[in-house]
Amino acid sequence: MFFALSSIRQTIFLSIACLLFFTGISNVRAQIIQASIQQIKSSKNISYTDIVRTKFSFQEDFVADTLSSYIMPVGKESQTGGCYLIKARNHAYAFDGSKLISLNLEDSTYKIQQESVSGQNTRSLLYWTNVLQKSVNQPDQVRLLPDTLIDNIFYAHVKIIDYDSIAHNERVYLITDFVVDKKAKLPFQINRQMRGLTDDGSILSLIENHNYSTYRLNQRDFPDLSVAKIPDYFKLYVRGIPVKPLPNGTLAPPLTMHDLTGNELQLTHFREKFVLLDFSLIGCPHSAAAVQMLNRLHDKYGNQLAILNIYPNDPSEVIQQFDEREKVRTTSVTCKKTAQQDFPINGYPSFYLLDGDGVVVQSYSGFFKDLESLLIDDIESL
C-alpha cells in the first residue's frame, strides 16, 4: 500500500512538473512575442533597413534588394496597423491607410490599389506584427527554439507554423521563423518558407528572407506618411492593348530558331507533324508550371507531335540550366525577339498549335488548369 501511494504521489508530482514546464515554455513564447509587438506598436515611428532576398521554385538564384523602410503605427488602421513608406532599388511603395501607391522609378509610372500588401517588398514590420499578433491566439502553432547565436549575440528564435499538411498528395506549408533581438525587442531576421498549390494546379514554393538593421525609433524629422503622394512628373500606368493572335486557318510565317547547341532550325523542318509552339520565359512561374503538362503531351503523342519551347528573351545557357532543373523532355530553342511580331502573344507562356501543313489550328494564352484537356481535344480532332 505504501508503495502504491508513493507511486501515485510521484506520478502526480511528475504531471504537475511537466504541466509547469510546458506552461513556462508557453509563457516565454508569449513574453517574447508580446514584447516585440508592444515595442513596434507603442512607437510613434520607426525607420530601418531591410535586406530582402526571395527565391521562387522556378528561379535559379535568390533575388535581393535593399529596402529603406519607414513605418508609423496607427491603432485604428484596420488592414496592416499603420502607414508605411518603402524605398527599393527600382520601386517605392507608400501606404497611407486607405490606398497603396506603387511607384516605378525606372519609367516614372504609378499604380494605385486599396490592399496594403502587394508582394514581398511591401511586407513591412507592420505586416509581420500582425502575423505575431495572430499567433498569440493560436499558441499551438508556435514553437520556441533554442536561442540563435549570431556574431556572439544570442537572439530569441520563435517558429510559427500556420499549416503543414498534405493536399493532393503534395506537402503544403507556411512556416515563418522570427529571430528577435532580446534587448531591443525588435526582429533581427524573419525567414518564411511557403509551398502550395496554385490556381492552375501546379506546385509553387517560396523562400523569403528579411535581415534588419539601423533601427531608429521616435524620430522628430520623420516623413509624413498620412497621405501617400504621387510625384508631379509620374503618370498612371496603362496596361497595353491586348494583341490579337494569328487567326485559325492562317499559314504560320517562317520562323528561324536555334537549338541549345547553336544549330539552326526552321519551322518547315517539322512539316507532316503536328507542332505545338510554346513561347516561354525563364523566371515566369506559369512557364515553369507548364513543363509537366508538355512532358505528358510528349509522352502521349511521341513523334506525332513536335513540341518547341521557344525563348525570345533568354540565353541558351540559362535555358539549359532550367531544363535540367525542371526535367524538361521537350525541345527548347532560342529565336530573335522579332518573332513575337510574326507570332503575336499577350504574355508568357503562349501557345500555337499547327497542323502538318504549318497552318494555325488554335492559339492559347497563358497556362491554366484545363489547358491540357483542351490541347488533347484539339489534337484528337485533327
Question: How confident is the prediction along the chain (382 residues), in pLDDT tens digits per residue?
Answer: 434 445 544 544 444 344 333 344 456 667 888 999 999 999 999 999 999 999 998 888 899 999 999 999 998 889 999 999 999 999 999 999 989 999 999 999 999 999 999 999 999 999 999 999 998 888 889 998 999 888 888 999 999 999 999 998 999 999 999 999 999 999 999 999 999 988 777 889 999 999 999 999 999 999 999 989 899 899 999 888 888 999 999 999 999 999 999 999 999 999 889 999 999 998 888 898 999 999 999 999 999 999 999 999 899 998 999 999 899 999 999 999 889 899 999 889 999 999 999 999 999 999 988 999 999 999 999 8
The ranges of the chain annotated as CATH 3.40.30.10 are 256-381
Orientation of helix 125-136 relative to helix 2-41, angle to 10°: 150
CA distance linking residue 56 with residue 63, whole number of Å: 9
Range 124-128, long-range pairs (CB < 8 A, 24+ positions): 124/69, 124/71, 124/80, 124/84, 124/86, 125/40, 125/46, 125/48, 125/69, 125/71, 125/186, 125/187, 125/212, 126/40, 126/71, 126/73, 126/80, 126/81, 126/82, 126/84, 127/80, 128/178, 128/187, 128/190
- For the chain, give the number of residues: 382
pLDDT of residue 23: 41
Fold (topology level) of 256-381: Glutaredoxin (3.40.30)
The ranges of the chain annotated as CATH 2.50.20.10 are 41-236
State which amino acid sits at residue 95. Answer: F
| Domain 41-236, CATH | 2.50.20.10
pLDDT of residue 248: 97
pLDDT of residue 29: 62
